[in-house]
Chains A and B, each alone.
Chain A
Amino acid sequence: MVHAPPAALSTPPTAELVAAVVRLGRLLRARGIAVTPAESIDAARALGCLDVGDREELRLALRAVMVSRREDYDSFDQAFHDVWTATSGLPPSVPLPGPRHDMVRPPVTAPSKPPSVSLQNWMKPGEVVEGEALTLRAASNEESLGARDVARYAADDEEAFRVLARQVARRLALRRSRRWKSERRGARLDLRRTVRASLRTGGDPIRLERRSRTLRRTQIVALCDVSGSMELYAQFLLQFLHALQNSFARVETFAFATRLSRVTPILRGARFRESLRELGREVQDFSGGTRIGASFATFLTCYPRLVDRRTIVIILSDGWDVGSPDVLADAMRTMRRRAGRVIWLNPLMGAADFAPDTRGMQAALPFIDLLAAGHNLEALGRLARHLAL
C-alpha cells in the first residue's frame, strides 16, 4: 500500500542509495526477516526526507520502516552494517548469499535407526510395568516414581481421566466472549435495533430486541511426541486427549516421531484401549529418533488453517530433536504467532534437577507460553487452569 507522497519529501534519493536499500531488503529476506516490497518502497521514500550523510540516522530510520518486531533488531543492525560497511560511504554490490537452503525444507527421510516397535507395544497397555519406566532417559529417583504414576494410571484408570477431561471441557466450552450478538432471549436490550424497530410503530418500542454475549470457540491442537523416549508419557497424554475429545469436540490430535500423522479420527473411539490398539495398527512407521522441527514444519504447511488465535496448542515432547534447532525455532516462531497459546509439556520436568537444556528445548523456549510437566494426573489437573484463553 503506497500512500500519497508526503510534503516533507525534499530531495530525491540517489540511485545508489535506493539500490542499497533494495539490497538491504534482499539481504534481510535472505536472513529470514520478511520485508515486503511495500516496506522497501517506504524505505526508499524515507530516504528522501533524511540526512543521508548521517549513518546513525539512516540506520534508525530504515529500521523503523523495515523491521516490525523487537526480535529482529539485532539481525537488522547486522545486515545494515554488512551492506553499509563493506566499503565506506555508499554501499557497493555486496554478493548476496543465495536463498537460505533450509527455507525449502528437504523431504523428511527416515533416519538410519531401525524402527522400534514402541507403538505396537501400546496394544497391550496393561502390561506396562515398572521395569520399563526405569529405562526412561536420565531417570532419577523422583522421576521414576513419576513414571510409575503414569504407568499405573495408564493401565486402566479411564474414569479419573474422564472426570478431569469433563472439568476442562466445561471450562473451555463455557467461556463467554466479550462480544455481543443479537439473540431473541438475550440478557440485555439491544437499543440500536429496538430504536430502529420502533420507527415502524411511531416511536413506541413495542418489540424489544435483545442481545447476549457470544460463546468463545476455543479449540485444542495437540502434538504428541510418540518416539521411544516418550512412549509412556505419550500414552498418558493421549488418554487425557481421548477423554477430552469425547467430552469436547474441538480437539485435533497429531502424533509425531520422524513423521507426522493425524490421529484425531482414531481417538474418537468410545474406549481408549480400543483406540490405542487401532493407533498401533495405523501408525506403523515410527522410528527411534525424533524430528520435532521437521514434524512441526509439516504440520504448519499441511494444516495451515487449524491454528488460530482461538487455538491452544499443546506440545508433548522431551525436546530431544535430532534435526536442526533452527528448523524447530522457525516452526515454533510461526506457531507462536498464529496460536492463542502454546503449552509445552515436558515430562522430564517432573525430575528435581530438570533444566530445559536440550538443544531442541533451548530453540523452542522463547516461543512457549507455558512449560509444564503434566507427567501425572495431579500435574494435568494443575495444567487444566491454563487451558483457557
Chain B
Amino acid sequence: MNEEIRRIQAVMEREAYVTDRQVATSVFLASALGKPLLVEGHPGVGKTEIAKVLARSLGADLIRLQCYEGLDVTTALYEWNYPRQLLHIKLGESAPGSMAEKEASLFSDAFLLKRPLLAAITHTGRAPVLLIDEVDRSDEEFEAFLLEVLSDFQVTIPEMGTIRAEVRPTVVLTSNRTRELSEALRRRCLYLWIDYPSFEKELQIVRSKVPGLNERLAREVTGVLQSLRRMRLAKHPGVAESLDWAAALVALHADHLDAAVVRDTMGCFLKDDADFKVLERELEAGRLPALVSFAE
C-alpha cells in the first residue's frame, strides 16, 4: 500500500472519521493528480464529512459553497459592496480626479465581497480545501460556470480583469443525485461512491461518535438501522440518523431497546409518515428482536 494512502487513512481515523481504503485512495489521488473529487451517495453517509476531515488532516482552510437552485455568480463568486460604494462616491464627490480614476478606485479590492469560489482562488499560503456541497441542487447554468472555474482556476471580473489562483485548491464536490450531473463535469472529476456502511463499520462509527453509549445499545441501534435499510421505505435513514438516535437514547438514559422506547424515539431516524406506519406494524407484530439481531 502506498505510504501516503496509509497516512491519510490513519489521519482520518484519528479525526474520528471511520474510513476505508476506497475513500483514502480517492482522497489521495485527488491531491496527487490535482483533480476535483466528486463524491456521490445516499444522504447521510458522510460525504460532506470527507472534505471537513481532509481539511483538518491537511491543516488547510475549508471553504464551503452550499449549492441551491438559483445559486448564481453574486453568491458563489463575488459581489460588489454597494452601500460602501455609494458612500464612497458621496464622500469623494467634491474631490479632484477624473471620472476614470474614481471608477477605478470604486472597483477595487476594498469594495469586493469575496464569495466562496473567489475566496478559494485568491487564497494564499497552503492550498485550501474547497467543498462544493450538493452540487446537484444547483442548476445547469451554474454547473457550466463551475466547469469553467474548475478547469483553470481563474475568473474574470469585468471591472478588475482576470484573477488566477496561485495555489490550486483541493476540490471536493458532493451530490445526492437528485438530478444527473452533466457528463462534462463528471469527466473532469475523480469519482467516489459511498455506500451505506457495513454493520461493523457503522457500529464503529456509532461507538466513536456517541460517548456514553453502552455496547449493547450500540449494537442494537446499528442492527435496527441496518435492517431498516433493507426494507422498503420512502426514505432510508443514513448514518447521521443512527448517530442522532443513539445520542437521543443516551439522553433518555435508555440502556436497551424495547418497543416503547423505539416508538418514542423513531422520529430520530424516520422522516416520513408512511415509514412510521411500516415500523409501527413491525413493532406490533413483535418483530423488534428480528430487527435488532440484524445479520448481514
- Residues on A lying within 8 angstroms of B by beta carbon are 1, 3-4, 6, 8-9, 34, 36, 38-39, 42, 45-46, 49-51, 54, 56-57, 60-61, 63-65, 67-70, 73, 177-180, 191-192, 194-195, 198-199, 202-203, 205, 309, 336-337, 340
Contacts and interface: CB of A to CB of B under 8 A. Distances in A.
A199 B35 contact: no
A127 B193 CA distance: 56
Given A60-B22, A61-B25, A68-B189, 16 more contacts: A3-B33, A6-B32, A42-B35, A45-B33, A49-B29, A51-B2, A56-B21, A57-B2, A64-B192, A65-B190, A67-B191, A178-B69, A178-B139, A179-B70, A195-B86, A203-B93
Given A8-B32, A46-B32, A51-B1, A199 B192 contact: no
Contact of B35 (A3, A67, A202, A205): A3
A68 B187 contact: yes
- Name which of A6, A64, A180, A340 has the most chain B CB atoms within 10 A of its CB: A64
B141 interface: yes
Nearest to A213: B70
A241 to B, nearest CB: 25
A293 B187 CA distance: 27
Contacts of A67: 191
Nearest to A177: B70
B152 to A, nearest CB: 9
A46 B29 contact: yes
A60 B25 contact: yes
B40 A70 contact: yes
B20 to A, nearest CB: 9
A239 B33 CA distance: 56
A178 B68 CA distance: 10
Interface string B46-86: 00000000000000000000000110101000011010011
Interface residues of B, number: 50
Contact of A309 (B85, B102, B140, B151): B140
Contacts of A73: 193
B232 interface: no
Contacts of B264: none
Contacts of B80: 192, 195
Contacts of A199: 89, 99, 102-103, 106
Contacts of B263: none
Nearest to B27: A64
Contacts of A309: 139-140, 179
Contacts of A34: 183
- Name which of B37, B92, B99, B183 has the most chain A CB atoms within 10 A of its CB: B183
B258 interface: no
13 contacts: A9-B32, A46-B32, A49-B32, A50-B2, A56-B21, A57-B2, A60-B21, A65-B190, A70-B40, A191-B82, A194-B82, A195-B80, A202-B93
Contact of A203 (B89, B139, B151): B89
B34 A4 contact: yes
B186 interface: yes
B181 to A, nearest CB: 9
B5 interface: yes
A54 B4 CA distance: 14
Given A54-B2, A179-B141, A195-B80, A38 B187 contact: yes
Q: Please name the 8 residue pairs, one residue from A and one from B, whose CB atoms are nearest each other, closest first.
A: A178-B70, A203-B89, A68-B186, A8-B32, A70-B193, A60-B25, A51-B2, A191-B82
B86 A57 contact: no
Contacts of A39: 187
Nearest to A194: B82
Contacts of B21: 56-57, 60
B118 interface: no
Nearest to B99: A199
Contacts of B192: 64
A18 B92 CA distance: 64
A178 to B, nearest CB: 2
A4 B151 CA distance: 12
B26 interface: yes
B180 interface: yes
Contacts of B34: 3-4, 6
B38 interface: yes
Nearest to A337: B180
A68 B193 CA distance: 9
A387 B85 CA distance: 45
B26 A60 contact: yes
A36 B93 contact: no
- Name which of A8, A56, A199, A203 has the most chain B CB atoms within 10 A of its CB: A203
Contacts of B102: 199
B188 interface: yes
B90 interface: yes
A179 B29 contact: no
Given A51-B1, A54-B2, A178-B69, A64 B188 contact: no
A218 B186 CA distance: 25
A339 B25 CA distance: 33
Nearest to B26: A64
A1 B70 contact: no
Contacts of A198: 86, 89
Contacts of A192: 74, 79-80, 82
Nearest to B192: A64
A61 B141 CA distance: 31
A303 to B, nearest CB: 19
A365 B193 CA distance: 22
Nearest to B5: A57
A86 to B, nearest CB: 24
Interface in B83-121: 85-86, 89-90, 92-93, 99, 102-103, 106
Nearest to B111: A195
A138 B40 CA distance: 41
Contacts of B70: 177-179
